[in-house]
Structures are given as structure tokens and as C-alpha cells.
Structure 1
Amino acid sequence: MTTNYIRFQWRDTGYGEWVRELDEAELSYTSLQRNWRGSGRSFFHMTGHLTLEFVVDNYADLSAIEKRVDSALAKAWLTLRYHHPTIASQTKLDPITGKYMKAYPQHSVGWLEKTFVVLSTGHTGAEWANHDPPAPVLPTLYAMAVPSIENKRVVRRDLIFRSPHDIIDGIGTLLLFDNYVRHTAEAFAQGDSYEPPSLDDPQVFQNLSPPFRVAAAIPPEPSEAALHRLAGLDIADVEDKARNAEVATLPYKMGALVPGIHRRVEITLSPEETARLTGACKEVGSTVTHVFHAAIALVLRNLQPMHEKPRLVEYVGYLLRNERGSCVPPFNGHEHAAAVYHSTSSEKLIVNMTVPGRNDNLPEETRLEVEKREFLDIVHQMREFYQKVRDDPEHYRLAPLLWARRSIPPPLDEHLIPPIPPPSDSPSASISSMGRIDNIIRRGHGDIEVYNPWVTGEELRNGLGLFLGTFRGSLSLSAAYNDAWHDKDEVLQFVESCIRLVNTGLGLEQSR
């Protein structure tokens, strides 16, 4: 740890807390949360979902098994805090220094009761998560008692994990789930004999996660090359504004100035559909992420109003990149799941597209051929952009500077509630790809089978956030939106249009 990084080292305050400063990535999410606080909601508050099925013997007493399940879930949550104590931390503003700090309490009294909640509402976890669930300051796990939907002799629990985004990110949530299910399987198998490790053990403080700067061993001071690249990005931004290009924007309901409820819709393909899609992607030398990002751009283009003559529009976005592979051991895997270790691309992703004129009537066969060529061309552009970011050896060192460059400064007064930022005048649609979630979460641990993993961040703006992931051979494309500006049917149609466009562009038969 260099002298400049002492501020990122966890230290004992002497008043019952361990604290450290936030780095740029964490502070970016804290800033969003604090600047939208006037809405009564928490921007990008994380929601993770997982379904667990506990296999039950034919002669077992179901009610007794359910009690055993809930006991195992509670004990596993305590064990998880021991190995990932950062889930018991929260972000606070130090009134003396004026800096935001991550604070971890040295005591554990009352923590389990506050942060582990068993619910039986008659809803599934996904339904409950879609109807304005609490946004607790401390990361909290809700275990929903849900009947089996297939008349299988199992005890089912839907897990909903809720956490501020400055504590954990999406991939981290999935990693945390895998660790949690492993602990749960052990606690369930051992029953009353299972004892979680003591949270008073001094060893627990050594498990607190550092910020990304430390985890990736990024030098405190940027290199000349990094500063040169930042200057180049500033020049590119000025040139973009000077071009005054029309940006493809997402239509939305006008009028609302305050965000409503974050919602989520999802379409899941069958394993057969997924296999055909994956095979078709390989044939064109691209990934599922490339083709769906291309589809998002084209669906947005198709939503633009037509004029008399054709015109150019741009899709503008960024790429989100998991940076755990850039971290040094042990920060590059499951051991430090409760952390914010990801980045955004340094350059803007810009795709030029043509909105046809009102009178551009091509024969159906010609139109389909033109659309397919256009789609594959954009897929190629996406592949090149993704690979450029992937192959950039300096990108992760630049990431903290990019977070700082794109963040809104947070308020430095806990009592100040800033005006809610207005809806964007050019909302867009982004994508966050989880890839093959089977590589992150195992399908089963002991007597537990795992289903339906997904994660999203609370959307308080008027754009769309799409999420892509494959588990147990089935691909799911979901979208997060805010119901102040969008309706369920509209967003579902957007997702369906993306899937339909991918099928058409890759020459697959439409199966829905």
C-alpha cells in the first residue's frame, strides 16, 4: 500500500467502526444515489434474484423441512457476513473531512434481524421485486416462501437481494449468491450441528474488500499516456458536439418530472432456441452480446420519426466491462464479491444508421435483404468495439479517471436534498451482459437446485437498461425501466423487437 493509498485502507476509528475512503467508481454510484435522493428512491439500487429448490424426501415432514430451510438460510447469511463483511457496511459522509466513507460496524448485534427477512406474501420473488420493494441502506436478503410451481416435492425459496450500488455490482451480486448457496447447502445438510463462524473473530476485519484502485494495483498517479488519452477524449467530445449529429432517442411519456417505480420485464428463450441462436452467432464470428447490442441500436433507429427524405442518426452508448480479471489475487474472484469492480469504455460507442424516408418503399424481399446486410454490418462494428476495449491493456488503469470524469459531484451536506435532475432529452437504451451465468453460479449445491438468477439496477431515468444472461442453457433478455415514463407493454415490445430482429438478421426461423 503506497502512502497515497493509506486513505483506502480500512482503519479502526476507535469508536466501534472500521472506515475507509471511497474510490471513484464507488463515489460515482454514491453521487447518483444522493443527487436523486429527493425522489424518495435510491438510484441504481441493486436487485439480485435467485430461486432455490430444496429436494425433500417422500416421507419427510414438509413443515419441519421448511423450518430447517429457513434456519439454514439465516445461518448461511451470518456465515456470508464473516467471509464478506463489506455486506454489513454502508456509505456515510464524514462531516469533518467532507469525504464520503465506507463504514463497517465492529458489532453484529441486531444485524441479522435487520438484514435477513423471511416473507410469505403470496407472490413470487420476481413479482415482489417488481412492485416497489424497500431500498434498505444496509444490504438485505429477503427469502420468499413460494409454493413449487411444478408439483415437485421440494421446498422453494425465492431470494431477493437488495443493496446500494456503491457496496456491490452486478457480477459481484451473482458471485455472492453462489457463495451464499454453498454455505446454505452446508448448513442445511448439517442441521442443528452447523455453527456460523463468530463475527467477533478479529479475522473478519481482514476480509473487508478494498476499492478497485487497490484491488487492481493501479498506480496512484496517472501516467503521461493516461493523461494524453484523457485529453484525446476531451477533444473527441468537443468534435462530437461540433458535428451536431442527430442522436437516436427513445420515445417516452412526457410530463413527469419525478421518477416512479422501477420495473422489469423479461423474455426467456428455450434451450433449443438458445442453442440455435448461439450457433448462428458463431457462424458470423460474433457473440450473443454483440448481436443483441446491434439489435438495440437498430430497434432504436426504427422508433425514430420518418421525414420526407432519409437522414442519418447515431446510436450513442458505452460498454460495461467486468474488471475482476484485472484485479490481483485474491480480489479477482469469489472471495471479494461484495465490491464495485467494473468499468465503462473510454470511448463512446457510436453507430451511424439511416432512417428511411416516408416514400422509401422497397419490395419486401429487397427490404429484408437490405435489413439483414445492415444488421450484420452493425454486428461487425459492435464486435470491433468490444474487442478494442477487451484488448486494451491500459484500460483498467484509466477506469478510475473515467468514473471521475463522468460523475456528478455529490452533495457535501447530509441535510441538503438537491433538486431532482430532470428527465434526459435524449434517453437511450444500454445493455449489460452477464454472459454464461453458469460460469458464476453453479446449478446446484448439495440438496439445493438453483434457478432464475438475474440482477438489475434501479432505473430512475427515462431510458432503458437491458440485461442479457444465459443459465441452464436458456438465454434471457430483460429490460429495466421507470413507469413514470414507460409502460410495460411498450418495453416488452422493445425486447420482443430485439429478439425478432436478431432472428431475422441471423436467418433464424421465428419461434415466437
Structure 2
Amino acid sequence: MSTDYTRFQWRDTGYGEWVRELDEAELSYTSLQRNWRGSGRSFFHMTGHLTLEVPVDNDVDPPTIEKRVDSALAKAWLTLRYHHPTIASQTKLDPITGKYMKAYPQNSVGWLEKTFVVLSTGHSGAEWANHDPPAPVLPTLYALAVPPTEDKQVVRRDLVFRSPHDIIDGSGTLLLFDNYVRHTAEAFTLGDSYEPPSLNDPKVVQNLSPPFRVAAAIPPEPSEAVMHRLASLDIADAADKARNAEVATLPYKKGALVPGIHRRVEITLSPTETARLIGACKEVGSTVTHVFHAAIALVLRSMQPIHDKPRSVEFVGYLLRNERGSCVPPFNGHEHAAAVYHSTSSEKLIVNMTVPGRNDKLPEETRLQVGKQEFLDIVQQMREFYQKVRDDPEHYRLAPLLWARRSIPPPLDEHAIPPIPPPSDSPSASISSMGRIDNIIRQKHGDIEVYNPWVTGEELRNGLGLFLGSFRGSLSLSAAYNDAWHDKDEVLQFVESCIRLVDTGLGLEQTR
């Protein structure tokens, strides 16, 4: 591993472009994109969604407000590039060095027209995003004009942000949205007098975001403690393989070898239901993330084949950890939203469960008691694992090495189209929790009200990616899947089963 960090510093090529080398986290996502290129799709391509509403007074013509809103959105997009120029960058392979580079063009001519698109399709943003939207190489914002409901006198725009994952991550997308709405509100209020800052300003390049290694001031050479941790992980991985345990896997439709369309389903609880759920979680000393991760494991267990005798299976996965808190100022906040600052847990999450045998029958009351206790036991296990990952002071220094170990190598030919990797033999379900999104995105900026924020990554394999988050007091549980291997009703049933199991395990089944 090179100890020279100058390769991660943005430098002027002298040809109107600034470049730097990718770090391990960014390269991991680049590799996924390039290795699945033959599918015609972009693995883990980010989708961010937001609904904006601007009230219209009875004595004001709505088309006038619509024109002002669209003008403000365009101006704010230019302002956003000034403060976050990385959204105008893309990843390229340097044919001379064989290294993947992030490249930022100083010339901004035509960028707005390419990357800010106003649509009027008759669909909401969520509907449009669920029907195979473009996956542009450059981060792009689509603003969909959506008619308001009859009881609302507002101008509504649904925003759908699409970007390669090696440019930005999920938490960064939410941070970027908040900055964007703030600029939009200012542009809307000032109207024609609002002028975006010049993208020709030499100071723009000072706002380009570094990779995580630099943002977190990680020493180029791993410490002895880090190397010891890596050796311990190798020993644990070898022990896991030696056990040859059965892993709980997600059933899927066999046959397809090429991914189809990424889809998303969502169930949103009312504020009353959400408040009850949060209260019940506090009573057992856990969070909604802990209880839903436990539910995912148990729902997956319920989908395993039944044999004559009971047997043990394991739910296996990793946690995602937002690393912005590990970064040094100013890289730990809104100023550097357009970046990949997260990691995966160093250790595997392993939950041991028993699949009952065909003849294992218990009275209904006993079965419910056993089920609730098992649920609470797994919730406790989740809580302990999450806290261990959260409180690990050494982890962020280990993260780049873990990205490198767990990534597949990218092709070293810019035009190569490798064979599409086959679907997994043991697909599973994972969860990414955004927490209380109100802590990231304000509900209102000026005259603009904000609703329905969510993010997801393009799912091109046969697993399920669940996302959890709350906004304006309502909790949403969504699932991303690929329709080559899963159907909408099946995935929706999985999400509903998780919610029912949480209700039962926390004694809330009578309150919904």
C-alpha cells in the first residue's frame, strides 16, 4: 500500500480538469458499477427523493408561482455546485497509470442543461423513480411537476436525485438535499435579484471533497493495533468457515441470470403508531433499528425449508456505519455532503436461530410466549452488537483496509464489459437506518415545506435492501429489490411481516 497521500489531493492537470485518486471505499463502488456494466445498469446507483411544496395564496395565479419555483430550483442547483463541486465530477480510468481517478471539469458550460431536468410525466417522483429511471454518469437532479391534491393550494415539485455511488452515499444525499432546499428557498424569496455565485471563481475547487482517508486524517501506514485487529478478523473468519453452519437465505425466483429493474416498496406508520412504537422500544432499552433488524432475522428464519427435525441456522450480515463523525472539521458536516464517508462493521453480525421441525407443535399461547422471548433475546443481541460497532474507537482507521479486502477488483480497461456476476447462492436481507431524518433535513426552509425524504441504492442482485427512517413523526420501512428475482407482492409481504413481528414482540398488536 502506498504511503503517499498526495495521490488523494486534487491537482490541476493543466487541461481544464482537476483530478485525484479514489480511496478504497470509492473504488469499491466503482468496481461494482464496472463489473455489472454488462447488465446495462449501474450497481448501487444512488436515488434520493424529496417533495417540496410552496403555498399559493388565493389571489395569486399558480402558474406564476410555478415559474418562480422552477427558476429558484435551477439557480439553487448552480449554487449547490459552487459549494459542492464534487457533484459535477465523475470517475475515469487513467489509461497511463491504470488508476481510477475522480475528475472535475472547470468548464461549466452545458452542465446545468445536462444535470437539471424538469419533467411533467403525470407521475409522482416515487412512481417515476420506480420505473427504470436513467442512471446518468454525472449526478443529476430531476424535478417532477406533480399536481397537488384537491385540498391543497400549493405548487408541488418532487425531486429525484440520481448519482453514481462512488460520488456520494446515502447520508450525504440527505445532507445535500438540506443544503439544496436552503438555497432554493433563498432564490425563491429573492426572485430575479438572486444570482448564483460564479462557477468560474477560482475558489470553487477549494470546495472539492477529499476521500475518507484524508477527511478522517487516517495515517497512511496502519498501526500495530490495526494490523492486530486484521489478524484477529482473519482468525474469526477461518473459524466461521470451519463451522460450516447453515446460513438462512432469502428465497428467490430461479432462472434469470441478468438483473432486471430495481424496484422499491414502502410502508409508513402514522405519527400515533410511530410514537407508540418508539415508546415500546424505550421500554425494552432498544431503538427501532434494533427491533426491525431482529425482525428481519426472524422473518428470514420463517422462510427456511422445514425438515423433520429442528435445526440451527444463522442470520449473517454486516452493519453500515456513518463515518462523518470520525472526520475532522469541516469534513464532518454539511459542507462536504458529496462524499463517500461510511464503512461496514469489522466483525460479522451472526444471530443463531432454530428452525422448528415438522412435528414441533406447541399450544398457541406457549408459542406466542416463546416467540416474544426469542424476539426480545435477539433484540438484545442486536443492541449489543450495534453498540459495540458504534463505540469502537479504532474502527475508522481499519475501515479503508476492510473496503479493500471485501471488494472485487475493477476491470483495468475503460471499455471492458466483464461477464455479469451470477445471482448469489445465499442471498439475504440487510437494513440501513437513516434514523430521524428531521435531524438532517429541516421540515421547512423559508416558504418551502419538505416531505417524503428517502434514499436507496440500485439493487442488482437477488437480496433485499431494507431502509428505515422517520420524518415529521412518521416511520417508514422500505425495501429495495430487483424484479428479475422478486415480485412486488412478495417483498411487500416481507416488509409487512417485519412490522407485524415487531408489533407482536413488543405487545403492540392490539394498538394498530
SS of the counterpart of 2:18? strand
- In structure 1, what is the Cα distance between the partners aligned to 2:402 and 2:56? 50
- In structure 1, what is the Cα distance between the partners aligned to 2:276 and 2:233? 40
Post-superposition offset of 1:510: 4.6
SS of the counterpart of 1:432? strand
Post-superposition offset of 1:231: 1.3
1:270 maps to: 270
2:187 maps to: 187
Deviations 1:265-294 (A, max 9, x none): 000000000000000000000011000000
Deviations 1:7-38 (A, max 9, x none): 00000000110000000000000000000000
SS of the counterpart of 1:499? helix
Residue pairs, 1:303-314, within 5 angstroms: 303-314=303-314
- In structure 2, what is the Cα distance between the partners aligned to 1:75 and 1:151? 30
- In structure 1, what is the Cα distance between the partners aligned to 2:109 and 2:174? 27
Q: Using a 3 Å threshold, how does the CA distance of structure 1 residues 2 and 247 change in structure 2: closer, same or farther?
A: closer
- In structure 2, what is the Cα distance between the partners aligned to 1:149 and 1:236? 56
SS of the counterpart of 1:3? coil
Post-superposition offset of 1:489: 0.2
Name the Cα RMSD after superposition. 1.1
Post-superposition offset of 1:237: 1.3
Post-superposition offset of 1:56: 1.3
Q: Using a 3 Å threshold, how does the CA distance of structure 1 residues 408 and 69 change in structure 2: closer, same or farther?
A: same
Q: Which moved more, 1:230-239 or 1:158-167?
A: 230-239
- In structure 1, what is the Cα distance between the partners aligned to 2:340 and 2:380? 30
Post-superposition offset of 1:511: 5.2
Q: Which runs of 5+ in 2 are unaligned?
A: none
Q: Which moved more, 1:194-203 or 1:57-66?
A: 57-66
Tell me the TM-score normalised to structure 1 length.
0.99
Q: Is the 8 A contact 2:78 2:196 kept in 1?
A: yes
Q: Is the 8 A contact 2:3 2:220 kept in 1?
A: no
- In structure 1, what is the Cα distance between the partners aligned to 2:228 and 2:176? 37
Residue pairs, 1:301-450, within 5 angstroms: 301-450=301-450
Following TM superposition, the consecutive aligned residue runs of length 4 or more in structure 1 with deviations greater than 2 angstroms are 509-512
- In structure 1, what is the Cα distance between the partners aligned to 2:476 and 2:3? 46
SS of the counterpart of 1:103? strand
Q: Is the 8 A contact 2:185 2:446 kept in 1?
A: yes
Post-superposition offset of 1:150: 4.6
Post-superposition offset of 1:3: 7.1
Post-superposition offset of 1:306: 0.5
Post-superposition offset of 1:74: 0.1
Deviations 1:302-348 (A, max 9, x none): 00010000000000000001000000000000000000000000000
Q: Is the 8 A contact 2:171 2:434 kept in 1?
A: yes
Post-superposition offset of 1:239: 1.1
Q: Is the 8 A contact 2:322 2:341 kept in 1?
A: yes
- In structure 2, what is the Cα distance between the partners aligned to 1:31 and 1:340? 14
Q: Is the 8 A contact 1:168 1:340 kept in 2?
A: yes
- In structure 2, what is the Cα distance between the partners aligned to 1:304 and 1:3? 47
Post-superposition offset of 1:225: 1.1
Residue pairs, 1:64-79, within 5 angstroms: 64-79=64-79
Deviations 1:123-168 (A, max 9, x none): 0000000000000000000000001125211000000000000000
Q: Using a 3 Å threshold, how does the CA distance of structure 1 residues 255 and 2 change in structure 2: closer, same or farther?
A: closer
- In structure 2, what is the Cα distance between the partners aligned to 1:4 and 1:290? 40
- In structure 1, what is the Cα distance between the partners aligned to 2:3 and 2:373? 55
Q: Is the 8 A contact 2:69 2:188 kept in 1?
A: yes
- In structure 2, what is the Cα distance between the partners aligned to 1:258 and 1:509? 40
- In structure 2, what is the Cα distance between the partners aligned to 1:467 and 1:21? 31
Post-superposition offset of 1:364: 0.4
Deviations 1:410-454 (A, max 9, x none): 000012111000000000000000000000000000000000000
Post-superposition offset of 1:2: 12
SS of the counterpart of 1:158? strand
Deviations 1:188-242 (A, max 9, x none): 0000100000000001000000000000000001111111111111111111111
Q: Which runs of 5+ in 1 are unaligned?
A: none
Identity rate, percent: 90
- In structure 2, what is the Cα distance between the partners aligned to 1:321 and 1:149? 38
Q: Is the 8 A contact 1:500 1:510 kept in 2?
A: no
Q: Which moved more, 1:502-511 or 1:36-45?
A: 502-511
Post-superposition offset of 1:264: 0.1
- In structure 2, what is the Cα distance between the partners aligned to 1:243 and 1:472? 46
- In structure 1, what is the Cα distance between the partners aligned to 2:420 and 2:230? 29
- In structure 2, what is the Cα distance between the partners aligned to 1:7 and 1:219? 14
- In structure 1, what is the Cα distance between the partners aligned to 2:198 and 2:415? 37
Q: Is the 8 A contact 2:500 2:509 kept in 1?
A: no
Q: Is the 8 A contact 2:140 2:163 kept in 1?
A: yes
Report whether the alignment pairs 1:150 with 2:128: no
- In structure 1, what is the Cα distance between the partners aligned to 2:86 and 2:134? 20
Q: Is the 8 A contact 2:321 2:343 kept in 1?
A: yes
Report whether the alignment pairs 1:139 with 2:153: no
Tell me the TM-score normalised to structure 2 length.
0.99
Post-superposition offset of 1:509: 2.5
- In structure 1, what is the Cα distance between the partners aligned to 2:282 and 2:145? 41
Q: Using a 3 Å threshold, how does the CA distance of structure 1 residues 308 and 281 change in structure 2: closer, same or farther?
A: same
SS of the counterpart of 2:189? helix
- In structure 2, what is the Cα distance between the partners aligned to 1:3 and 1:231? 21
Q: Is the 8 A contact 1:50 1:450 kept in 2?
A: yes
SS of the counterpart of 1:417? coil
- In structure 2, what is the Cα distance between the partners aligned to 1:74 and 1:258? 37
- In structure 2, what is the Cα distance between the partners aligned to 1:500 and 1:511? 12
Q: Which moved more, 1:412-421 or 1:256-265?
A: 412-421
2:15 maps to: 15
- In structure 1, what is the Cα distance between the partners aligned to 2:481 and 2:492? 10
Q: Which moved more, 1:423-432 or 1:149-158?
A: 149-158
Q: Is the 8 A contact 2:286 2:379 kept in 1?
A: yes
SS of the counterpart of 2:4? helix
Q: Is the 8 A contact 2:304 2:355 kept in 1?
A: yes
Deviations 1:383-428 (A, max 9, x none): 0000001111000110000100100000000121110000000000
